[in-house]
Amino acid sequence: MAVLSDSNRFDAWAEYMQENKEAIGITKQDLRAAINAADAWIDSNAASFNTAIPQPARNVLSAKQKAMLFMTVAIKRFGVA
């Protein structure tokens, strides 16, 4: 899957600012750079994550299901939501 379009990255940045309830000590531009970097990291590491998923899940789960798997673990790990 390719990186997000600039428009989608902008939307992600705006949604993060609306949803985040904690104060952060960076500028909006720094946050936008972090969004861009996170998106690029996901793109660069997608194959590694896919390889880490054991069979048969690797072959059975769709890309969206694997993304949900990743999000579920990350949310639980970091106590988000």
Give residue 30's Cα distance to chain centre. Answer: 17
Q: Per residue in 7-34, pLDDT tens?
A: 999 999 999 999 988 899 999 999 999 9
Helical spans, DSSP H, in 1-62: 6-19, 28-52, 57-60
The model carries a pTM of: 0.86
**Residue 67 structure tokens:** 């993304």
